[in-house]
Amino acid sequence: MSGHSKWSTIKRKKAANDSARGKIFTKLIKEITVAARSGGGDEETNPRLRTAIQAARGANMPTDNIKRAIQKGTGELPGVNYDEIVYEGYTPGGAALIIQCLTDNRNRTVAEVRHLLSKHNGNLGETGSVAWNFERRGEILIAAEGMSEDDLMELSLEVGADDFTLEDGMGTLLCEPADLHAVQSALEEKKANIESADLVMVPKNTIAIEGKAAEQALKLMLLLEDHDDVQKVYSNFDIDPEIMAAFEG
């Protein structure tokens, strides 16, 4: 869990600059559009859309942008049709990769993802080759400066989460996917400072990667995250905190 938690922290810090925010908006708009297309434009009856809208609000996306993305999904406005694709593969050092994409051109996306992997000593695997090692979970990140592990454990139990970690002043709470919004609402009632709430893929076990392979794996993760068609990337690496820290800047 620690590697997953640390990677979440790194991504959050990387997203703080303006250029990254523009890419995040693009990815969030895609997700809102696809969610509205697949489940309708009412967030009260469409959990996926509700999660996407909450993520957009958390990123300070203007309300008009959210509304237009929903309307494109429901067909009220013209828009692009995106296909959902999940690629599986391996990092340098042999850790598993889950790469979730939304694309309007499957051939382009698979070619570019394969190129990134091969260029940086990773490789693309067959469907099902690593997915068995991950489970879908609800994840909520909260600002936890001044909180002890005991404080966070007590809060976690009170709001209905079933796992937690505390690292670098950030608390990570995990729950069943169906409980995500209930746990989030309970945290809001307790005035917790919520940074994000989302559905994620958490590894069941991890693989230690060291030295150059660890650095290459982290670089590959960041490059995949930065790709326009890639929505989310997950891995089960376990990397030394000092190497991880070098990628926070």
pLDDT at 93: 94
Number of C-beta neighbours around residue 193 at 10 A: 11
**Spatial distance between the Cα atoms of 107 and 104, rounded to a whole number of angstroms:** 9
- Tell whether domain 83-132+205-245 is in CATH 3.30.70.980: yes
Instruction: Return the residue matching tokens 């670098």.
Output: 168
Query: Which distant-in-sequence residues (6+ apart) come within 8 Å of 63 by Cβ?
Result: none
Domain 2-74 - what CATH class? Answer: mainly alpha
List the chain domain ranges. 2-74, 83-132+205-245, 134-203
Tell me the mean pLDDT in the region 147-164.
94
Does the structure show a pLDDT above 90 at 21?
Answer: no
> pLDDT digits over 59-78, tens only?
889 999 999 999 999 999 99
**Spatial distance between the Cα atoms of 196 and 45, rounded to a whole number of angstroms:** 21
Give the model's confidence band at 158: pLDDT under 50 very low, under 70 low, under 90 confident, else very high: very high
Does the structure show a pLDDT above 50 at 79?
Answer: yes
CA-to-CA dists, residue 243 to 50, 69, 87, 179, 198, angstroms: 36, 38, 26, 34, 26
State the CATH architecture for 134-203. 2-Layer Sandwich (3.30)
The H or E element containing residue 100 is strand 96-103
First-last CA distance in the chain: 22
> pLDDT digits over 178-206, tens only?
999 899 999 999 999 988 888 999 999 99
Instruction: Return the residue matching tokens 């990397």.
Output: 239
CA-to-CA dists, residue 189 to 54, 72, 156, 170, 185, angstroms: 16, 33, 13, 19, 6
**Spatial distance between the Cα atoms of 158 and 187, rounded to a whole number of angstroms:** 9
Give the model's confidence band at 5: pLDDT under 50 very low, under 70 low, under 90 confident, else very high: low
Domains 83-132+205-245 and 134-203 share a fold: yes
Does the structure show a pLDDT above 70 at 16?
Answer: no
Alpha-helical segments (H) within 131-198 = 149-159, 180-189
Does the structure show a pLDDT above 60 at 170?
Answer: yes
Smallest CA-to-CA distance from 53 within 26, 35, 77, 80 is with 35
* Mean pLDDT rounded to a whole number for the chain: 89
